[in-house]
Homo-oligomer: A and B are copies of this chain.
Amino acid sequence: MPDKQRVCLAYSGGLDTSCILAWLIEKGYDVICFMANIGQEEDFEAAKAKALKIGAKECYVENCNAIYENVYLLGTSLARPVIARAQIAVAQKEGCQFISHGCTGKGNDQVRFELAFYALQPTIQVIAPWRIPEFYETFPGRDALLDYAAKKGIPVTSTKSKPWSMDENLAHCSYEAGILEDPDTEAPADMWKLTADPLTSAPDEPEDVTIDFEKGIPVKISSRSQNATDPTKLFLAANALARKHGVGRIDIVENRFIGLKSRGCYETPGLTILRNAHIDLEGLTLDREIRALRDQFVTIGYSRILYNGLYYSPEREFLEASIIESQKTTNGTVRLRLYKGNCFVIGRSSKTSKLYDMSESSMDEIGSFEPSETGGFIKVQAIRLKKYGEAKKEAGVDLVKRA
């Protein structure tokens, strides 16, 4: 008798993916469950037991440790290719022809997972139940899922579902859907999970933090309550500091890749601090023209690529070479003050970068710079503008009088 077809399912232990697990088994597949440990707080053992009880052939809990590699531009969207890679590794190990997930058919995550799946293993076939009419017509709402769970003996945790959905990893937590779908409804104070409330729980005492960077990578963080140099510990220390002082919340309406607008609330505690420090240091150490090119082209392009799920792509590789090139001189120290939601920069220095020169920039000293030269600089810049003024005059436009 031939082997059954095998599916590797991204499993969370919740109602949706438990029903999907049962449904796939019902459809005749052998199912291997996959859970990604990306730093979120979760009872992986209980979830694993549940998967096996429902009928999974196996359940892997994988530590996706790649996320610490490049802290600089790690963000929400970057969790997906990391998870996808770990899931494909399990699928390959288990000889699965199929891969499945519980993402809805309207969001970004389905795109991010699947584009990564296809790049990592071009022959893989995807089963996305929430896009299969047979599935979504069978389960039009939560009640239908509950009925199915009851019928299949799937244990349902009695806790009342929160009126929004969440997604958490080491770097951030996102909140969307449910009551948040009205963009004019304020996010409830008890929704935020990773940061203290700046208005009510953050301490009255500010805390100063010092962060050192080498080639754009944070290598040391220190404050009165935290000290770390190991990459993971440094990242956790940044999270702890931001959490304590309520730093890193945003609430926005964004444009999903598929063309719908969507309201999301995000907490990104540690990264917010690290990013503020990083950008500030670049002011001191990065050449003006490199910064302009990087900001306009690389940053905007790279963000779009990650947001749209194109991590495994030629263009991401292409832009990443530029990012590394741009960071050669980003060496130095930034001092920040955290206080009730704020992350103020209060000073920065660099021992190696000589782009900033106090006496040269000084308004009070002449230094090696000859101010009389600047007149020529301005005069040459003005050649084009004088023509503009003359052309306006000929056209009867008085730039001076115009109200």
Instruction: Write the residues of chain A forming the contact surface with B, with a CB cutoff of 8 angstroms.
Output: 66, 85, 88-89, 92, 104-107, 110-111, 114-115, 118-122, 126, 128, 130-133, 136, 140-141, 165, 176-178, 181-187, 198-199, 206, 249-256, 258-263, 280, 283-284, 287-297, 300-301, 304, 310, 312-315, 317-319, 321-322, 325-326, 329, 335, 339-342, 344-349, 354-358, 360-364, 366, 369-391, 394, 399-401, 403
Contact = CB atoms under 8 A, between A and B. Distances in A.
B385 A310 contact: yes
Contacts of A360: 260
A312 B398 CA distance: 12
Contacts of A181: 358, 361-363
Contacts of A254: 283
Nearest to A206: B199
- A132, A263, A297, A389, most chain B CB atoms within 10 A: A389
Contact of A399 (B120, B283, B287): B120
A184 B380 contact: no
A308 to B, nearest CB: 8
A309 to B, nearest CB: 8
19 contacts: A89-B400, A106-B362, A118-B382, A118-B385, A119-B386, A120-B400, A131-B372, A136-B371, A183-B347, A187-B346, A198-B340, A250-B345, A260-B361, A287-B314, A287-B384, A289-B314, A293-B297, A294-B318, A313-B385
Contacts of A290: 314-315, 318
B373 A312 contact: no
Given A176-B363, A356-B261, A104 B371 contact: yes
A284 B261 contact: yes
Contact of A376 (B345, B348, B374, B401): B374
A378 B380 CA distance: 10
Contacts of A304: 292
Contacts of A261: 283-284, 288, 355-357, 361
Contacts of A384: 259, 287-289, 313-314
A260 B369 CA distance: 10
Given A260-B361, A293-B315, A354-B394, 20 more contacts: A106-B363, A106-B369, A119-B389, A120-B389, A122-B389, A128-B375, A181-B362, A183-B356, A186-B346, A198-B340, A198-B342, A252-B345, A258-B374, A263-B356, A287-B384, A289-B315, A293-B318, A296-B297, A357-B387, A377-B381
A9 B301 CA distance: 40
A346 B111 CA distance: 29
Contact of A380 (B300, B345, B377): B377
A353 B339 CA distance: 37
B371 A106 contact: yes
